[in-house]
Amino acid sequence: MTAQQARRPGRPRSERARQAVLAATLALAAEQEPADLHMEAIAKRANVSKETLYRWWHSKTEVILDTLAERGQQTIPLPDTGTLRGDLRDFLRATVDSADPATGRLLHSIAAAAASDENAARQVRDQFLATRRADLGQILRRGAARGEIDHDNAALALDLIYGSLWYRLIFRTGPLDYRWADQVAAAIASP
């Protein structure tokens, strides 16, 4: 499918307006629980019409997922230190740094939606998790190419890393901090 085929009907999306919506979503999430976050409030804060918002996103979940995906791309760079352990450490530390209260609230919100609704789970997998897993997968594939991790273990490491992260995030079993990041990197990249 080409970009032209994928484009929704109507005027092309304004990147300025899109960024305003994403920023408004984060700002509102910092002030209130995501359950209280409504499309009308996002539109008002972003200074766009509700019609514009609904033309580009069909639901609040889609806006939140776009916001989180964009935030991840902006705040969690893909490191290339030359070692798997260094790349994992830097990637996971950047993940820790990006986990501010607003982002945490939005992540809890999408996890709850995914747990109770298969359509929401599919959206979370396809629109958010897939991009984060792809970035981490690239780090692990580089490590496998250098012989630092077995290819099969690299695939499993994706689930182990994100399982640990989400377990701590959702159930608050421990902090998401540099100690966690360093321990996970060492466990995955140990000789």
**84 and 55 within one domain:** no
Query: What is the chain's alpha carbon radius of gyration, rounded to the nearest angstrom?
Result: 18
Domain end call among 42, 60, 78? 60
| pTM score, whole prediction | 0.86
| CA atoms within a 13 Å half-sphere pointing along the CA-CB vector of 78 | 13
Count structural domains, the chain.
Answer: 2
12: which DSSP letter? P
Domain end call among 60, 84, 103? 60
**92 and 13 within one domain:** no
**176 and 108 within one domain:** yes
**43 and 69 within one domain:** no
Report phi then psi at 84, rounded to 5.
-60, -45
**Residue ranges making up the domain that contains 174:** 64-188
**109 and 56 within one domain:** no
pLDDT in tens, the chain (191 residues): 334 335 455 566 689 999 999 999 999 999 988 888 899 999 999 999 999 999 999 999 999 999 999 999 999 999 999 999 999 999 999 999 998 999 989 999 999 999 999 999 999 999 999 999 999 999 999 999 999 999 999 999 999 999 999 999 989 999 999 999 999 999 999 87
**100 and 48 within one domain:** no
**178 and 114 within one domain:** yes
